[in-house]
Amino acid sequence: MSKGYFRFDSNVNSVGGCVASRLPDLKNSVTSHDLCSCLKGTSKIGQEAVPNLTEFASSLKADANNVQQFLYTRRKSSLNLISRKKSTNNNRKPTMPLKLYSVSDSPPTLAVRMALKYLDIDHELVDIDFANGEHLKEDYIEKNPQGEVPLLDDDGFVLSESVAIIQYLAEKYKKDDTFYPEDAQERAVVNHRLAFNLSTLYKTVVEYMLLPTFYAYPRTELNLKKLNHSLKTLEEILNRQDKAYVAGDSVTIADLPIVMSLVCLEAMSFDLSEYPRIASWYLNFKDSCGELWEIANKGLEELTGFAQSPPDLSHLEHPIHPTDRSVLEDE
């Protein structure tokens, strides 16, 4: 950059970075008329303050060029950033099939499988023998210290927890702007529904339906009361929102785990007549998302069988869940 009288400071975010402090000995009392006279060579002030008008004019031109070059560079960088973002979004297919460690009737696993289907992602299902405790064996614990399914392996990147997996898939392998919206408020609604399901709805479904089906837990009136409370809350959320799906007008990742919560209830013939909005949304999902529902329905068939005839897992030494149902019979 030249030694121009006007300096463009790249650390300043506007053309206000141009300063006139480089005019030597020019007092604050100098007017714009004085400056114009100075440039024409007709002012005494100009003769004394700027003895070389040619150099001064050249400096102004050089500084203007610097401003132009700075703005051009900023614009070029922005265009490159947009181009890289578009390129990333277009490159949405994994380089190799993902691995999903799963159990065929696991509600969280089925939610992830629906996400994979929606996003059209090639993947390999690795079945875990739940009945024989494969999820508790050392080999699997090395992959997932939680000892649970599902577990995703994306070319060496390993991730557990179904909600985290679904969010990751929808973010990395984005298909459209609706499944996991980028708008902050729309995404917040989706994330709220996911959190509500984990903390409230699915939690009470597990306590009332899944744990008594697979382990030695009683099915209690207290747990039924908690379940009904969570269903009343979801009913109110859907009524206030008044949309076709749980987080808006389009299906999102939030619908998938909540659908699986309802699948668990359908498997035990739970009566939803007190919750017409939930029943309507659930039926709408079945009708409008046929390919996704096909995955969920297979889980429904298996869970229905287990609800009618609970499996005997007394041979398992589970770290937290009791498996010997004879204790319940004695009570």
Predicted confidence (pLDDT) per residue in 215-243, tens digit = 999 999 999 999 999 999 999 999 999 99
Q: CB-based contacts of 8: which residues, under 8 Å, 6+ apart? A: 1, 15, 17, 18, 63, 66, 67, 70
Average pLDDT over residues 236-254: 98
Least confident of 61-75, 147-161, 284-298: 61-75
Across the beta sheet with 157-160, the strand order is 123-127, 98-102, 151-154, 157-160
**Domain map (residue ranges) of the chain:** 15-90, 98-330
Q: Which of 233, 225, 171, 168 is nearest to 199 (CA)?
A: 233
Q: What does the mean pLDDT of the chain come to? A: 84
Least confident of 3-17, 61-75, 182-196, 266-280: 3-17
User: How far, in Å, CA of 166 to CA of 162, rounded?
Assistant: 6
* Residue that the structure tokens 């121009």 belong to: 4
Phi, psi of 157 (to 5 degrees): -85, 115
Annotation says 106 is catalytic: yes
Token digits of residue 154: 């994306």
Q: What is the pLDDT of residues 56-109, one digit of tens each?
A: 556 666 666 676 676 666 665 555 554 444 444 545 789 899 999 999 999 999
Q: Does domain 98-330 have CATH number 3.30.465.10?
A: no
pTM for this model (two decimals): 0.74
Options 106, 160, 230, 261, the catalytic residue: 106
* Residue that the structure tokens 């159990």 belong to: 103
Q: CB-based contacts of 210: which residues, under 8 Å, 6+ apart? A: 107, 264
Catalogue the E-assigned strands of 23-168.
98-102, 123-127, 151-154, 157-160
Q: CB-based contacts of 189: which residues, under 8 Å, 6+ apart? A: 247, 248, 254
